[in-house]
Every structure is written in structure tokens, then in C-alpha cells.
Structure 1
Amino acid sequence: MLTHLKLNNFKIWRSTGQMPLAPLTLLFGTNSSGKSSLIQSLLLLRQTVKARDPNLDLNFGNQDAGDSVTLGQFRDVLCRRGAATEVVRANQIGIEFGWRGGEDRQSIGGFTARYEQGQGGSADLAYLRIGQGSLGFTAQRGRHGAYKLWAADVRRAIGQSPNFKPQRSFAFSRAAAEALGARATPVLSVGPTLLAELSRIIYLGPVRRSAQRDYLWSGRFPGSIGDDGGQAVDALIASGVAKEEARRRRLPTPSAARLFDETAYWLHSMGLADDLQVRQLGRSARYELLVVNGDGVSNLKDVGVGVSQVLPVIVAALFAEPGHIVIVEEPESHLHPLAQSQLAEIFIQVSRERGVQFIAESHSEHFLNRLQRRVAEGVVLPGNLAAYFCQRSGAAAELEPLRLDEFGEIENWPENFFGDEMADIAGRTIAAMQRKRAAKTGGAE
């Protein structure tokens, strides 16, 4: 689980300050207020540590390579009106986050990095600290591309060498490992832990893949559902086929059918479908996903777009294993208010029962209202919910933590949080009164 995030001079953010993250973390705000940039920083690091090129300090992304984010070059990511702090210069990008991991989910780790512009618009690592308990290291670039290296909390540097440059912001070359010798253990062992933590992220973008009339299925469960949810229906088909096969053989329902049954349950609770069915097209490898409503059965392509857009969100939540981090933008897209409220119930249940962390960027008042209600009812502890309001302040962004009390009330409700609802109500009432008065006066004349 990610415990906090801090950005300096990253896109619209001069500084977020330290931003605590909870099992349920919500990001609200106006358009172009920096919400997506918060998420992009984590995706940027995830695709960096997974990149094949060891010389990339930050992998800004290549759309043709299927990267999660494509951010251009260093100058496109550096805040145009960057601000210096005690440790981060105005021409540097700073990214920091913490995590709690391990088998007991109690081991504390941290990542802090600063980057400067390199050749050809790339990023050069200026400073890096990764730590988890007694393991970890600090690397700092000196003159002529050499890096000083400290192990864990030891103040005295192990040495200085160009070989001590961390690769992909977390690992070391074979030459560095050989040079460290017996001192390598506390330095090298923390990198795989960071890689494992970032690999736990399941991301869904704001635009999910449109429904298809039929799907070519490989015959296996997909390993992921994709950033656009493109493999979510494949996962449902695999689960549905397992269920149907067991029914046909009169066997107990297998665990593989859980995804299919639970997805159908949540669609029903949201008022979107009574059930789901999977149908093979002849003896081919192509399958239809059918939506049942009452006595009618419709192809997924022929029902409202809200169903196809929310299916990946539901599947992502149910697909996640304990310790996974589900990051989703606009989960409420194309949904009516009841369905938006029920989305909150999915996140609450999966987070509580299976230890999955959710970070959601949303514009939905109904989504937030349901979470506030569950806090008031004692179902969600205030400490397990973090909510932030992002807003523009000139050319930069500001982050306002929303203070939620034990009764689910937001103590510092931002101005125009979900638009100016009270002004609209007052304006409508005044206009109605004026028109009624005018009509009455005209009738009297």
C-alpha cells in the first residue's frame, strides 16, 4: 500500500507537500487542476522501473510501446514556474512516495528522487534514496557523472564511481555489484522490493475500450486487464466458461467463476443488469458477452455505454489481489446517480475484505456522499479515507486536504466543490418568483 506522495516542480505542481494516502483515497477538483498529474507521477515511475532500457532515468513514455503515460520531454514535465525548496532546485523535478509492504504489510519503505534535464530532453538522476528498514541506499551525482553511494543509514560513503549510477531509478549494473562486493547486500536487495510494489498497481484510464459484438478468447485468464480495460471482458469470458463447464458437468461452482458471479451481482445492485451470460459462437474461439434484463438478453454492444464503461472498473476491483493498488480515473463515467453510489460500495467492500488500496479521481458527488454516509455509520473509519480537492492558483495548482470527521462531515467544504449548487437553487427560486409575480400583475391588468 502506498502511504504518501510528494511532488516538486512536476507539471502544474510546484509542490504538493506531503500527501498522505489511505486505503481509500479520492481526488476531486476542477478540470486542469492537476488531479491526473498526481496519478501520472506514479505511472511514470512504474513504467520506468519496468522499462528495458537501463539508461533511462525516467521513461517519459512511447505511445507505440504501449506505455501508460506519454509525457514528452523533461521540459514538458518540469513546472514552468518551478519553485526552489531547501533540497529541490527550481530546475529539478522531485518525486517522493512511501509504501507499506512485505508479507505482513507492515514493512515501511520510501523512495525520494530528484531529476535534472539531460541530453536530448531526457532526465538525469541527481539524487536518489530508497530505503526499507535497515536496507537501502542513497546515491548522489557529483562531477563528471560519478555517483557517491551510501548504504542504508551509514553516513560514510561507500565510494564514488560512474558505475554507482542507479539504473532505471532503482537498480544497479553488474559492474556496480562487483565493485560493492560484500557491501552489496543492503544496497541491492531493496530494488526488487520497490519493483514489486509498483508492479502491484492496476490502472484504468478515464476512457475505457468500447464494447465489441464478440471477442476472440485465448482460452486462458488474462494476466492483466490493460490500462483501457481491454482485457476485462476476456477475464469475464474465462470466468463464465469455467462456471458453465462446471454446471454442465454437474460439479461444484469453481473459484474461477467468482469473478463472473460477483460482477453480475454488482451490475444488478447498480440497476444495470439482472445477470450476465457467455455464449460461444459455433465451435470458434469467439464469444459473446450477453446482458440479461428481465426476460430480455442483449449483446453487450447493444446496451447502454455505461455498462461497457463500468465493467472494467468492477473487474479491476474484483481482479485485484490483496496488496494491489487500483488507480482509476472517472470511475463514474456514463453512470446514473444510483450506480455512482454503488461504485463506492464496491471499493469499500474490496478494500476492507481483501486489503486492496483504491486511488480514484472523480467528479461524482454521489460517489463521495455514499462514502461520507458509510463513515457516519461506522462502516468506514475516517483514517481509512483520504480526500483531496485540487484547484488552480494562477499558473500552478494547490492541494487542499478535506478534513472528514467521525460523522462523515467535511469540515472545510471548498467553495464551488461541485459547482455553485446553492446559487443555482437561489437563482431558480428568485426567477420563478419574479415570473409568477409578473404573470399575476399582467393578469390583473
Structure 2
Amino acid sequence: MLTELRLQNFKAWKDTESMRLAPLTVIFGTNSSGKSSLGHLLLALKQTVLLTDRKRSLHLGDENSLIDLGTFEDCLYDHDLSRLMSFALSWKSRGDLVLKDILDPSAIFQGDELTLMAEIGASKTEQPETRRFTYTLHQQGHEELIASHGRRDGKPFLDCHPLRLVHAQGRNWGVEAPEKFYRFSDKTLSRYQNAHFLTDFVLEAEHLLENFYHLGPLRSPPKRVYPWSGDTPPDVGAEGELTIPALLAATQQGRKLNRGPKQKYQPFDTFIASWLKDLGIIHEFKVEPIAAGRKEYEVLIQAHGSAPWVKLTDVGFGVSQVLPALVQAFYAPSNSVLWMEQPEIHLHPRVQANLADAFISAIQAREDGENRNTQLIIESHSEHFLNRLQRRIAEGGVTPDEVAIYFVTRNRLGAHLEPLLLNEYGDIENWPDDFFGDDMEDITQRALAAARKRRAQKAQGADA
């Protein structure tokens, strides 16, 4: 689970400064303010991890990748190639990391949180290269071990402290340049007798980013028939195009979830159907093959108790748009990070509010008797979503520590990120100006217009 994020010189961001990420993080902001680019960088990092070419520092994308960010110059703040793009990720490891120096049994380093910081630069005549990356192992906020790898004065280096790396006898070759933005080459590690622990850092970074999933703001329209041959998709797809195959796969595999501690477990399809019903969007929901032995399925909806069953294409657009967000929130593997853009799109205000309850449940849900530890990062424009979230904090359904809320604006220096301070009563203590538009201005102008109209009507009555 990500705990902090910081970007420098990326897209609209000169510097986000340190951004605390909670199990449920919600980002509000004006259009084109830069909030989406926060998730876009994480997508670029994921597709770089998945890339077979270890020499490329950062895979910015093409028509076949998860995202296409253009050229490196396109991605730099002010398109200034003299700047270094920098990012830092902090996350909770899957368990306590215990690192030992094989040359000194008394030297043991233990931690439950990692930070990866990387700097990438380029010129017009060269590809982007990793200038430096640093891993820091933390235990309860204290730095336990730091390993830094990169280029210094044009030459590759590898430093580590307080553990001291010792050269292996007969292996006097130099350190190689970093691979991608986070890897040590095998040749570099083999140069030392006691550098094997560095692969643990790499594996933790890869696990984090491989389990990062993104759902975009534009979802695929509903279909009358969905093919499924028994495969298990990794997620619902960037546009939700794999939602029904994902739901069928999870159900066939016998996955059962509950909504939180001491709640009843349900099969995956029943679980999703119950949430659709509780959102207030339908009465019943099911997915069935069009005929026995066929690999084509149809999604059937009952709008209310006495209504006939109809296909997904024959009901309002909102069901097909919220279904990918709902399935993804519970389908992703445990310890996943999910970034969703405008999951409330096309939904009635009451359903937008209820969606906050579903996402609170997603961070509290259990599967196979274990906490799923899912993290949701939501981009939203919905004040109804926020109001419900504040209400649940006041009621004790979720704590302020489990929630982080940000407001993004744009000024002459680029994007600006403002954390909103939530107290135990659900109040935002530093409510920003013009957060959801100037409501008071509309109320004032409506009252003035009504007063003018009444005076005009009164004057007309007097003339008559």
C-alpha cells in the first residue's frame, strides 16, 4: 500500500511536495488542473516494470501500452530538458523485511516500509537515462538502511550505508549503469560479496507496481452479449471492457468476500449484485450464458421488484458505467493499489453518495478470512460522494487516518496540491475557496434576480 507520493518536474507539477496516501484517498480539482497526471506517472512506471528491455529508464508508451505520454520533453515541467524528472514512492512492504549482512551476522536491518526515489534526465540528442535512484528501508519512521545507485561525474556508482558493501575477490569489474529506474544489474550485484539483499528491494518495487491498476473516466458502452472462454483477466481493463469476464472468472473460482469484520461472506457475483442493489441503481442483477454450453453471456437487470428482466443495454447508462468501478474495487488481488477516474460519472446524486459506502467497504473487506488491504485513489468531482464520506467519518464507520482528501488547482507556477484537513467529526477544517464552484454567488444572484422580478411585477400591477 502506498503511503506517500512526490513528483517533481512532471507535466503540470513543478513539485507536489510530499503527498500522504491513505487507504481511501480522494482527489478533487478543477478541469485540466493536473490531477490525472499523478496516476498517469504510476501507469508509466508499471509499464516500465513490465517491459522486457531493461536498458530503457522509463517507458512513456505507444499505441500498445497502458498509456502513451508522448516524448520525454512532453512530460517535463515547462518542457525544459535542463530539468530532472523526479519521483518518490513510499509503501508498506508485504511483511517485515529482515536484511542480513552475510559477512557480519550481527548486522541485521529490519523494516516495514520502503521509499524509492528516482531522478531521470535527458537532452535533445539522447534517450532518458536514470541519473540516480535510492532505496530507503524504514522501521517505524526511522531510516534503517539506504542504498543509492546511479551516475556520478559520468561514472556509475553504488553506495550503501550503514551496511558496507565488500568487493568479491577476482571480480574487479566496474559497476554498471542502473537498469530501468529501479534495478541493479546482475553484473553489478555479483561484484560484491554481500549485495544480494538489494534484490529484495527490487522485488518489492515490482510487486507494488505490478499490482497497480487504473480505471479511466470513459467506460465502454454496454453490450447485448459478452464472450468468455474461461480466462482470468488481470483487471477489468482501462475502460472496463473486461468487467464481465472478470466477474465470471472470480465467481467460477469460488471467491467469496464480505464487507468488513463480522459480515457475512458471499460468492463474488452475489456480492456485486448486492452492492448494485444497495447503491439504489437496480433491484436484481445476474449474468447467465445465452444457452447451455455456450461461451456467450448476457447481463440481465431487474429495475424494480415487479419489473421484467431485461438486458444491460436496455436500462439506463449508469449501471454499465458504475459496474466496472464496483467490480474492480473487489476483484483486484489483495494488497493492490487502484486508481479510478470519476467513478461517479452518469450516476444520480443519491447513487454517488452511496458509492462512497461501497469504496469504504472495499478498503475494509475480507477474503478467505484475511483483510484484502486494497487501496483506492479516486479522482472525483462529486460533492455528494464527499458529503457521505464526511458523514461516515462522523459516525465512526471510517477514521480520518483511513482517508486523505486533496484539492488540485492551477496557478502561474503550475499545479498546486492542497491537503484538506479532516477531523473526527467529519469536518474539513481548511475548506478551500471555490471548492465546488461559488455556490453563494449563485444563491445571491438568484435572490437578487427574484427581487427584481417581484418589483417589476408589482410595478406592472400598479400601472394596471
TM-score (norm 2): 0.85
2:69 is matched with which residue? Answer: 71
Question: Distance between the aligned counterparts of 1:162 and 1:206, measured in 2?
Answer: 48
More helix, by proportion: 1
The answer on whether the counterparts of 2:73 and 2:79 sit within 8 Å (CA) in structure 1 is no
C-alpha change, 1:224 and 1:152, in structure 2 (3 Å) is farther
2:451 is matched with which residue? Answer: 433
CA offset at residue 118 of structure 1?
4.9
Residue identity matched to 2:347 = L
SS at match of 1:185: coil
CA offset at residue 441 of structure 1?
1.0
Question: Distance between the aligned counterparts of 1:237 and 1:39, measured in 2?
Answer: 28
Picking from 282, 286, 302, the partner of 1:273 is: 282
CA offset at residue 350 of structure 1?
1.8
The answer on whether the counterparts of 1:237 and 1:289 sit within 8 Å (CA) in structure 2 is no
- Count matched residues: 423
The answer on whether the counterparts of 2:116 and 2:133 sit within 8 Å (CA) in structure 1 is yes
Deviations 1:363-390 (A, max 9, x none): 0000111001111112211111111110
Picking from 78, 85, 88, the partner of 1:96 is: 88
2:31 matches 1:26: no
The answer on whether the counterparts of 1:10 and 1:93 sit within 8 Å (CA) in structure 2 is yes
CA offset at residue 31 of structure 1?
0.6
Question: Distance between the aligned counterparts of 1:160 and 1:143, measured in 2?
Answer: 20
CA offset at residue 399 of structure 1?
0.9
CA offset at residue 221 of structure 1?
3.6
1:324 is matched with which residue? Answer: 336
2:196 matches 1:185: yes
2:273 matches 1:264: yes
Picking from 407, 410, 419, the partner of 1:389 is: 407
CA offset at residue 298 of structure 1?
1.4
Picking from 363, 367, 380, the partner of 1:351 is: 363
2:133 matches 1:141: no
SS at match of 2:364: helix
Question: Distance between the aligned counterparts of 2:73 and 2:331, measured in 1?
Answer: 37
2:319 matches 1:307: yes
CA offset at residue 81 of structure 1?
7.2
Aligned-residue Cα RMSD (Å) equals: 2.4
Structure 1 unmatched runs, 5+: 83-88, 244-254
1:252 is matched with which residue? Answer: none
C-alpha change, 1:136 and 1:194, in structure 2 (3 Å) is farther
SS at match of 1:222: coil
2:423 is matched with which residue? Answer: 405
Larger deviation: 118-127 or 333-342? 118-127
1:9 is matched with which residue? Answer: 9
SS at match of 1:4: strand
2:108 is matched with which residue? Answer: none
Question: Distance between the aligned counterparts of 1:51 and 1:423, measured in 2?
Answer: 51
Question: Distance between the aligned counterparts of 1:429 and 1:148, measured in 2?
Answer: 68
Question: Distance between the aligned counterparts of 2:94 and 2:392, measured in 1?
Answer: 29
C-alpha change, 1:288 and 1:385, in structure 2 (3 Å) is same
Deviations 1:112-160 (A, max 9, x none): 011111566631111100233556621121344x310013544789799
The answer on whether the counterparts of 1:129 and 1:136 sit within 8 Å (CA) in structure 2 is yes
2:291 matches 1:293: no
Question: Distance between the aligned counterparts of 1:6 and 1:157, measured in 2?
Answer: 33
The answer on whether the counterparts of 1:139 and 1:148 sit within 8 Å (CA) in structure 2 is yes
The answer on whether the counterparts of 1:149 and 1:160 sit within 8 Å (CA) in structure 2 is no
The answer on whether the counterparts of 1:27 and 1:360 sit within 8 Å (CA) in structure 2 is yes
TM-score (norm 1): 0.89
2:53 matches 1:53: yes
CA offset at residue 90 of structure 1?
5.8
Question: Distance between the aligned counterparts of 2:188 and 2:226, measured in 1?
Answer: 48
Question: Distance between the aligned counterparts of 2:69 and 2:401, measured in 1?
Answer: 33
SS at match of 1:229: coil
Residue identity matched to 1:20 = R
SS at match of 1:426: helix
Give the share of equivalent positions with the same residue, in percent: 37
Question: Distance between the aligned counterparts of 2:145 and 2:349, measured in 1?
Answer: 48
1:85 is matched with which residue? Answer: none
C-alpha change, 1:240 and 1:188, in structure 2 (3 Å) is closer
SS at match of 2:197: helix
CA offset at residue 320 of structure 1?
2.7
Residue identity matched to 2:27 = L
2:112 matches 1:107: yes
1:235 is matched with which residue? Answer: 246
Residue identity matched to 2:55 = N
The answer on whether the counterparts of 2:400 and 2:422 sit within 8 Å (CA) in structure 1 is yes
Question: Distance between the aligned counterparts of 2:201 and 2:441, measured in 1?
Answer: 54
2:200 matches 1:202: no
